[in-house]
Amino acid sequence: MKRIVLPLVAAIALLVGASGCTPEAESRDAITKWFPDWAEAKAIRVADCESGLNPDAISAGGGNWGLFQLNRTTWEPTARSMGYTWSQVLDPYINSKIALQVYKAAGNSFSPWGCRNA
């Protein structure tokens, strides 16, 4: 009986543990990694409004990418100056890090985002 129960418990633990690694959970983690404590909740609301916390989101016209829907024309030079290629902005951690630079460049404001009032 122990031979059956132990593998079953291990399998259940793996399934439960894996369910916490959703794109939404990873996106929230990425935001809290980079944004200061006082801006975290607002940053999560803005990203949720912009992309539904989907790090792979690309706007219909293809101009806005990732978690914070960074505009390629405007922010690709910033991404490059930080050592990233544009395709890397689909990584929620990189997107959040670049978004933090956008936020800082705007005077610690979410004014560059359409969802700034989220």
pTM above 0.85, yes or no: no
Whether residue 32 is predicted with pLDDT greater than 80 in this model: the reply is yes
Q: What is the pLDDT of residue 21?
A: 83
**CA dist., res. 111 & res. 105, Å (int):** 10
Residue 105 Ramachandran class (φ > 0 left, ψ -120 to 50 alpha, else beta): alpha
**CA dist., res. 117 & res. 58, Å (int):** 21
For residues 27-36, give the mean pLDDT: 97
Cα 9–chain centre separation:
32
Whether residue 18 is predicted with pLDDT greater than 80 in this model: the reply is no
User: Given 3.40.640.10, 1.10.10.10, 1.10.530.10, 3.50.30.30, which CATH number is that of 22-105?
Assistant: 1.10.530.10
Amino acid at position 35, single letter: F
Segment 75-104, tens digit of pLDDT: 999 999 999 999 999 999 999 999 999 999
Radius of gyration of the chain (CA): 18
